[in-house]
Chain A
């Protein structure tokens, strides 16, 4: 089975005042339809940058891709014609659920207007990739027949994300909705164009635990029912455990370990993964942090970027980045000294 999305050795960085910051260093991942892949790491590890690179929405003036490819359904999004990507992929085949449902709506329009605005351009029922005519966007026509069909689709989807009384909801302004409702709307909006891949960037960080449990259940169910791939970036290992099929761990711009979810939590191999799992608060009151701090990315440590904080580090760790070490079915690690568990 070929992957829906495959990122191969992607390296990129940003030009900053302090020099070139290498934010992603040869990162690879792949994801298939109907699966939920967790991209786990602490803040500043590059998970959001990777999500944005896949979407192709990094700032063009400062971001520079220095190597690698992003294969989506057989085309390389990095080298494809930007206009074609914009019309057929971004916002259609790949959609995005943002982290903060509070600042992602325009406060002066009703949510109904904002949803229909998306569908005017990105509806799966629109004939061929939207051709922008000579008319400016606001006055270009929205065929009423398609609008009706789109509205039916909206109602059906709002029902699927368990929002009560959708017709009234569409007339409300964003401030009249709670955080959980807004996040449900965001998920609905991401699914409306009929995407193959949804990138959810920390979708539950701003929500309470009880609402988080509801939203995670919703994402999992919709991914399975609609056969959509979900790339879930999160720093919350508990959330990753709940709904992911597999987990990819990142540290300071490098991918360090990839494992199916059960193996990930039962037999972590990379020292960073082990320490991260040990940092979770436990009922008996023990939780060990990781000494030291995440390195700055303008002058990252050579080789494996975790070596200054790693107790297993030795010579080779400082010299070169460890190659991929296959540990079992679908479980690999990039470490010279992985913890091997005999099962």
Chain B
């Protein structure tokens, strides 16, 4: 078995809730004990509803949110407590593609300047070398050279996505975290963007962590999936197993909630009621028990651990 390129061990990210005089009156456990190993070349999916901590997890890996506990290893080396200079070297090979590409491009900079910037920061290349590299990457993401002289508002959402991706790829990263890469795109554009992601993975030898709430996209792209609920992984396993034989009641309801064209209308008998509880005030025991049809006393007393259940793992007292 090959070594994991990135591994998380019991990672926790908590945000303080402060009252008057900055007194700490509680905490939101955005990520609360998450562990997984990412294998080289894998497309790993993170799914869950908004507020379940999937973006926070991605940002914690990048070092944007410092973890409260646990460890992050990249190629065997701890990266969660690095000094800023050492951190910068790691950041080159670990990149994050933000959810809203328009917001991450400076509206007053031409696309060309935005593409030069990461190379100026991370490499010693001169202007001509940078230009050559930018042009080759631009071709790889399917944009014409002429776009270098345009401003972000002059191009469409799908093209902005491509520019955002080109910006990351100029540094030849190893792991790319894609945060909701298709939100806000139309289906016809989404399909082309997704096939671009696949092509680039082959060309540049990338490993993806794909964060999304769109299960159809996850199913199409990923080889392995982790389902998150309120800061914890409730189920993890190969994509086919998760979608064909979901074990956790939450995974089952998520999959049941996807409209199936040609199948039965789910709006008639969709059983999951209510909404996720307030993350600042979690229920005791299993976090899902307030919405779970199977919940019994045991679920309120004891929080189920993520335990192996071939071919994946599930955190539920009564899986299946």
Question: Complex: how many Å from CA A265 to CA B254?
Answer: 23
- Pick from B186, B214, B215 the residue with the most CB of A within 10 Å: B186
| B residues contacting the other copy or chain, number (CB 8 A) | 40
Residue in B194, B213, B260 whose CB lies within 8 Å of A208: B213
Question: Complex: how many Å from CA A19 to CA B50?
Answer: 41
Additional pairs, 15, CB under 8 Å, beyond known A42-B187, A210-B272 = A42-B189, A209-B49, A213-B259, A213-B272, A214-B272, A217-B267, A217-B268, A238-B259, A238-B261, A265-B261, A280-B261, A283-B219, A283-B243, A289-B189, A289-B192
Q: Which residues of A contact B220 (CB under 8 A)?
A: 281-283, 285, 287
Let me know if B217 is at the binding interface, CB within 8 A. Answer: yes
Q: Which residues of B contact A101 (CB under 8 A)?
A: none
Q: Which B-chain residue is minimally distant from A285 (CB atoms)?
A: B220
Let me know if A178 is at the binding interface, CB within 8 A. Answer: yes
- Pick from B192, B215, B260 the residue with the most CB of A within 10 Å: B192
Let me know if A33 is at the binding interface, CB within 8 A. Answer: no
Question: Complex: how many Å from CA A63 to CA B258?
Answer: 38
B161-219 CB contacts (< 8 Å) to partner A:
186-195, 213-217, 219
Q: Which residues of A contact B260 (CB under 8 A)?
A: 238
Question: Complex: how many Å from CA A282 to CA B270?
Answer: 22
State whether B265 touches A279 (Cβ < 8 A): no
State whether A279 touches B268 (Cβ < 8 A): no
A267-308 CB contacts (< 8 Å) to partner B:
275-277, 279-283, 285, 287-291, 293
Q: What are 10 A-B pairs at a CB distance below 8 A?
A: A181-B275, A208-B50, A209-B257, A213-B266, A237-B261, A238-B259, A241-B259, A241-B265, A242-B267, A281-B194
State whether B188 touches A289 (Cβ < 8 A): yes
Q: Which residues of B contact A216 (CB under 8 A)?
A: 267
Q: Which A-chain residue is minimally distant from B213 (CB atoms)?
A: A208
Let me know if A116 is at the binding interface, CB within 8 A. Answer: no
Let me know if B320 is at the binding interface, CB within 8 A. Answer: no
Q: Which residues of B contact A42 (CB under 8 A)?
A: 186-189
Residue in B195, B253, B268 whose CB lies within 8 Å of A289: B195
Question: Complex: how many Å from CA A282 to CA B216?
Answer: 7
State whether B49 touches A214 (Cβ < 8 A): no
Question: Complex: how many Å from CA A214 to CA B189?
Answer: 27
Question: Complex: how many Å from CA A242 to CA B268?
Answer: 9
- Pick from A208, A212, A239 the residue with the most CB of B within 10 Å: A208
State whether B187 touches A235 (Cβ < 8 A): yes
> Assuming the A-B contacts A279-B187, A281-B220, A293-B156, are A211 and B275 also in contact, with contact meaning beta carbons closer than 8 angstroms in the complex?
yes
State whether A287 touches B267 (Cβ < 8 A): no
Interface residues of B (CB under 8 A from A): 49-50, 156, 158, 186-195, 213-217, 219-221, 243, 253-254, 256-262, 265-268, 270, 272-273, 275
State whether B258 touches A209 (Cβ < 8 A): yes
Residue in B158, B191, B215 whose CB lies within 8 Å of A287: B191
Q: Which A-chain residue is minimally distant from B158 (CB atoms)?
A: A293
Distance (whole angstroms) from the CB of B198 to the closest CB of chain A: 8
> Assuming the A-B contacts A209-B258, A287-B191, are A281 and B216 also in contact, with contact meaning beta carbons closer than 8 angstroms in the complex?
yes
State whether A214 touches B273 (Cβ < 8 A): yes
Distance (whole angstroms) from the CB of A241 to the closest CB of chain B: 5
State whether B188 touches A209 (Cβ < 8 A): no
State whether B216 touches A280 (Cβ < 8 A): yes
Q: Which residues of B contact A293 (CB under 8 A)?
A: 156, 158
Let me know if A70 is at the binding interface, CB within 8 A. Answer: no
Distance (whole angstroms) from the CB of B4 to the closest CB of chain A: 24
State whether B275 touches A180 (Cβ < 8 A): yes
State whether A279 touches B188 (Cβ < 8 A): yes
Question: Complex: how many Å from CA A259 to CA B81?
Answer: 59
State whether A243 touches B187 (Cβ < 8 A): no
Residue in A43, A213, A238, A282 whose CB lies within 8 Å of B186: A43
Distance (whole angstroms) from the CB of A74 to the closest CB of chain B: 33
Residue in A212, A279, A282 whose CB lies within 8 Å of B190: A279
Per-position 1/0 for A234-265, Cβ under 8 A of B: 01111101110000000000000000000001
Question: Complex: how many Å from CA A216 to CA B275?
Answer: 15
State whether B267 touches A275 (Cβ < 8 A): no
Q: Which residues of B contact A279 (CB under 8 A)?
A: 187-188, 190-191
Q: Which A-chain residue is minimally distant from B182 (CB atoms)?
A: A281
Question: Complex: how many Å from CA A11 to CA B262?
Answer: 34
State whether A265 touches B267 (Cβ < 8 A): no
Q: Which residues of A contact B186 (CB under 8 A)?
A: 42-43, 235
State whether A289 touches B190 (Cβ < 8 A): yes
Q: Which residues of B contact A178 (CB under 8 A)?
A: 275
Distance (whole angstroms) from the CB of A216 to the closest CB of chain B: 5
